[in-house]
Amino acid sequence: MATPSLPVTLVTGAGRGLGRGIALRLAALGHSVAINYASNEAAAQETAELCRQAASFDSQQFLAIQADVGAPAGRQKLLASTLETFGRIDALVNNAGMGPKIRTDILDASEVSFEEVLRTNLQGPYFLTQLIARYWLSAKPVPLLPHGFKVVFVSSISADTASLNRGEYCVSKAGLAMAAQLWATRLAAESIQVFELRPGIMATDMTAGAKQKYDALLAQGLVPQARWGTPEDVGLAVSALLSGDFPFSTGAVIPIDGGLHLRRL
């Protein structure tokens, strides 16, 4: 069991990419981390080892948990495994997500792809939040984070920026943005804070295939800060939220996009 004085955070999709960046920052902050992954066990175990190297205390623990967040059984496994190993959970970071396997014009997009993407990107985090919120409200554990338990939804600039060759991804992230608003409203009176982080053009596996396209757009000034975002950028934002630096906030939408969201002439 982890030392009771250390908070425990569950990060979905933490085997690589943004999730790994989040897990590493939380390790440095002194959290034990449940590292969820879908299929790449080697990457998840690598994240766990990197977290151990970044940890602030010897008593921190890092557990890789294979589970499909889009399936009810997977979500139950995540909660049960986290509680079995750590004895508690103080924060949930809904980071797991996927793009369509084939980018195609919305005139040609398939219902199979639409259902797959929404199941992982929207249905999964929506009902995982429900599951963990029910646990908090029924078991009534004492939170170890300042100002109570916390939920973070990692959405995307695609929540309000249209990409015609991946419509299902945009719809899923727009829905996730509303899910964050709904859960923030429902849980505010229970001293549970909810936030939405909205990353822009991030250097991850998901964007690797479109690197030349985005490099050109960056060179043309699309992003005011003129660089790619990184997993560390998102990790820093999560660590600030979980550290209690925003005590009188919930439901806030925080862009992590170098100013891409700014309306300019």
- Could you report the per-residue pLDDT of 107-125, keeping only the tens digit for each? 999 999 999 999 999 999 9
pLDDT surpasses 80 at 235: yes
Closest residue by Cα to residue 93 from 117, 60, 129: 129
What homologous superfamily is domain 8-255 in, according to CATH? NAD(P)-binding Rossmann-like Domain (3.40.50.720)
Does pLDDT of 136 surpass 70?
yes
The domain locations on the chain are: 8-255
pLDDT of the residue at 2? 43
Handedness of CA 197, 226, 232, 37 (dihedral sign): positive
Q: Provide, for the chain, the percentages of residues in helix, strand and coil under a 3-state DSSP scheme, each rounded to the nearest 5.
A: 45, 15, 40
Residues tagged active-site: 169
pLDDT tens sequence across 54-74: 999 999 999 999 999 999 999
Residues 235-262, mean pLDDT to the nearest whole number: 97
* Per-residue pLDDT at 173 exceeds 60: yes
Q: What is the pLDDT of residues 1-19, one digit of tens each?
A: 444 589 999 999 999 999 9
CB neighbour class for 159 (10 Å; exposed up to 12, middle 13-18, buried from 19): buried
* Maximum pairwise Cα distance, the chain: 56
